[in-house]
Structure formats: C-alpha cells, structure tokens
Amino acid sequence: MTRRKANQYFHVYILVSQSAESVVKVGKANNLSRTRSLARMGYAGRHDWSHIASFPMNSNHEALALESLVIAKLSNQGYKLPRMSWTNLINGKPSYADECFSCSAEHAITVANEMASLIEQHI
C-alpha cells in the first residue's frame, strides 16, 4: 500500500456545483483539500464546488482505476459535458475542464459505488 504523509489514502471524489444544477465533477486526489482548491481556482467557471462523496482507495493505481471506470460509465451513458474553457482565478491562466457531467449527484454516487464493487472483486 502506498501511503502519503498528508493522507493515508488516495481518493476518488465527486463534487457538485451549487450554481449549476446537475453538474458534477469526478476526480482523483491525494487529499481532500482538493475541493477548496478547485473552488478558489474557479474550475470550469464555477467557484461553488461542494464535496459530496469520496471513495478512499488503498493505492494510486486503485484510485486511478476507479476514476477511469466512473468517467467511462458516465460518458457511455451520455452524461459527459463537452470540454469547457475557463480562466484560473488564482493565476489568470486559461484552462480546460474535461471531467464534468450533467447527471445528478445521486446517480454519480451510484455509479461510483458500482465501479468500486467491481474493483474490490477483481483487484
């Protein structure tokens, strides 16, 4: 098991934008302060990201697998939003958001739970 000094787990997280109904972001991070960082940056043009779920994984490989499976399933279900351009509010640099979906938070959590079960069975 790979452990980080700041946090013992790697997390797959689900965020929701409070200003844009049914816009969720799926991502992977080494700690749970990622939400505040994304909100401060104005990720995807939004500054109100709220952390609604996280799935702690024992290794970076497992977290990457879970993130990839959740993104693939939500994309295959037609929920993936087109790439969004946005300007980072901290450094003023242009950037792009690729991991945003138009489903409900509950649906994203359901998919993440299903994919986490698959990983647990096969890894």
Question: Could you count the other beta carbons within 10 Å of the beta carbon of residue 74?
Answer: 23
| 4-46: pLDDT as tens digits | 455 567 999 999 998 866 799 999 998 777 778 899 999 999 9
Mean pLDDT of all residues in 109-121: 95
What b/e sequence results for 52-62 when a residue is b if at least 16 CB atoms lie within 10 Å of its CB, and e otherwise?
ebbbebeeeeb
DSSP state of 46: -
pLDDT of residue 3: 46
Whether residue 46 contacts residue 80, with contact meaning beta carbons closer than 8 Å, is answered with no
Question: pTM to 2 decimals?
Answer: 0.88
